[in-house]
Amino acid sequence: MARIALTISPGALTLEALQDIHAGNVALSLDQAAHEAIARSAAVVQRAAAGADAVYGVNTGFGKLASTRIDAADLAALQRNLIRSHSVGVGAPMDAAVVRLMLALKAASLGRGFSGVRPVVVQSILAAYNAGFIPYIPSQGSVGASGDLAPLSHLALALMGEGECLSPSGERVPAAAALVHHGLTPLTLEAKEGLALINGTQASTALALHALFTFEPVLESALVVGALTVDAARGSDGPFDPRIHAVRGQPGQIDVAQYYRWLLAGSAIRESHLHGDDRVQDPYCLRCQPQVVGACLDQLRHAALVLLREANAVTDNPLVFEDGTLVSGGNFHAEPVALAADAMATAIAEVGAIAERRIAMLIDPVVSRLPAFLTPNAGLNSGFMIAHVTAASVASENKSLAHPASVDSLPTSANQEDHVSMATFAARRLGPMIDNVACILGIELMAAAQGIDFLRPLTSSVALERVHAELRAHVPFVGEDRYLAPDIEVATSLVKQGLLSAVRDDLPGVPALWVAV
């Protein structure tokens, strides 16, 4: 498939552009206007390297060794040694989509012209992205300050022709051979360039953006599945009345309620119990969906703002300014990413938590007014009894995973780096949490569809009937107990693909839930 050309204007990346980069749909180039600033800052570093004054990261050691001066003849070796010594990551490799984002974010940051690297460094990164060159980057080993040192070192090591890469099939191959295969030239580092490559928050930011983009279709599916459950339980659409949400004024809540109104419009099931229903109020898991999921949406939208700022930021150290000075600071500290990821974790867990409650409600005949455990012959059959247990299990896991990572700090570098963000783990743990939520929603989708089947010949809305039919094309009604694990896998896959996209044609004029920043 031909890729679309995308020009990076440093400091001006959008969420839409980052999604395309994440997906690998684009070929990247750097805005010509950026080259002057890059060259100017590189010249400042080259003068500092030739001078007599000590400049951190240029002619000194690193971290606790910042007071150690390095001879001019050893400055290139200093940068090579930095990359080699800091390539100490462990664990499973980062996903190729995450690495693509890391490459692009690092190029965009260096391209702003405050890092003192030569243009060839930025060009090499972009050439690697365009060639599909994916450095092998272990996912563990960063504390989120001073920058994502270990992950970014593995990235830089591969660009140097050392270390390893991932082949298209996911196998680890020598980076030197991969460079030759792709027609790329190994990057030779000069003063400060190794430090500029590994200082920064690009690994934690890429992981958090990966989670944001991965969760988008799952969150949209949560609304569709939640609406289907409302109809399966013969719930009221009164709690979605726009007047309720307008007087509170929370934007996510207002938007989510609007979605439920769209999704449930025209339901014959709802019409059947508008009058004479003896249930005065629905359980919270039905009635409070706009308040709960809407609050989660607001948190995720705020996280998107923070991550977009970080994607456009300069986060290495020291920084080179237009007056020719190099100033040491701490932009590499990933606290904004850590806090955003922690907020995302809470929101992701809550979307799964309320979905688990809806499953529990559906299988309880007292509350749902459906057959016990959603089976026609309870006792002989257990129906959805243990499928709910699975949902409860992974919902519980998410409660532990949602514990904030940012409140922890272990000093490193002999107490020179004495407060760190833990942003990389904060962002990395979001992936398993999203998988758990998708599983819960997959089980709920099956349970809600089962409930709808018990209400036949009544039908739900056009949009929700389309979702029901899509599931039934792969997962039949559960009449007698059978092996359900494969069905759960299929339903979970449908959730991850995004059920809202499947009913777009049935909701004309409905905007995307996810607000692009």
What are the extents of the domains in the chain?
4-200, 209-315+333-506
CB 189 within 8 A of CB 83: yes
pLDDT of residue 82: 93
User: What is the number of residues in the chain?
Assistant: 517
Contact indicator for 29, 311 with CB cutoff of 8 Å: no
Other CB atoms within 10 A of residue 511 CB: 10
Convert 139-203 into a string of H (helix), E (strand) and C (coil).
EECCCCCCCCHHHHHHHHHHHCCCCEEECCCCCEEEHHHHHHHHCCCCCCCCCCHHHHHHCCCHH
Calculate Rg over the CA atoms of the chain: 26
Integer CA distances (angstroms), 380 to 371, 373, 377, 446, 479, in order: 13, 12, 6, 20, 11
SS3 4: strand
Question: Would you call 284 a catalytic residue per the annotation?
Answer: no
Q: Which CATH superfamily is domain 209-315+333-506 in?
A: Fumarase/aspartase (Central domain) (1.20.200.10)
Strands 26-30 vs 4-8: parallel, antiparallel or unpaired: parallel
In 3D space, the residue among 465, 442, 447 whose CA is nearest the CA of residue 370 turns out to be 447
Pick the CATH number of 4-200 from 3.10.20.30, 3.40.50.970, 3.40.50.1100, 1.10.275.10: 1.10.275.10
What the block records as the tokens of 24 is 């690998």
Q: Is 265 helix (H, G, I), strand (E, B) or coil?
A: coil
- Dihedral angle, C-alpha 292, 294, 299, 302, nearest 10 °: -170
C-alpha distance from residue 169 to each of 29, 89, 158, 165, 456 (Å): 26, 21, 18, 11, 47
- Of the residues 56, 129, 136, 259, only one is catalytic, namely 56
Beta-carbon contacts of residue 137 (< 8 Å; ≥ 6 apart): 89, 93, 94, 98, 99, 102, 151, 154, 155, 203
The answer to whether the peptide bond before residue 174 is cis (omega within 30 degrees of 0) is no
DSSP3 helix / strand / coil % (the chain, rounded to 5): 60, 5, 35
- Beta bridge partners of residue 172, listed in sequence order: 166
**Whether the Cβ atoms of residue 121 and residue 193 lie closer than 8 Å to each other:** yes
Specify whether the CB–CB gap between 173 and 117 falls below 8 A. Answer: no
Per-residue model confidence (pLDDT) at position 514: 66
What are the distances in angstroms from CA 213 to CA 18, 24, 99, 201, 218? 9, 13, 14, 18, 10
Taken in order 44, 46, 51, 57, is the CA torsion positive or negative? positive
Find, among 422, 234, 244, 459, the residue nearest to 341 by Cα.
422
In order along its 517 residues, the chain shows pLDDT tens digits of: 678 999 999 999 999 999 999 999 999 999 999 999 999 999 999 998 888 888 887 888 887 777 888 888 888 899 999 999 999 999 999 999 999 999 999 999 999 999 999 999 999 999 999 999 999 999 999 999 888 999 999 999 999 999 999 999 999 999 999 999 999 999 999 999 999 999 999 999 999 999 999 999 999 999 999 999 999 999 999 999 999 999 999 999 999 999 999 999 999 999 988 876 767 799 999 999 999 999 999 999 999 999 999 999 999 999 999 999 999 999 999 999 999 999 999 999 999 999 999 999 999 999 999 999 999 999 999 999 999 999 999 999 999 999 999 998 888 777 777 788 999 999 999 999 999 999 999 999 999 999 999 999 999 999 999 999 999 999 999 999 999 999 999 999 999 999 988 888 887 777 777 653 3
Q: What is the pLDDT of residue 517?
A: 35
Query: In the numeric block, which tokens belong to residue 515?
Result: 């607000």
Closest alpha carbon to 122 in 133, 113, 134: 113
Q: How far apart are the first and last CA of the chain?
A: 28
CA distance 509 to 21: 28
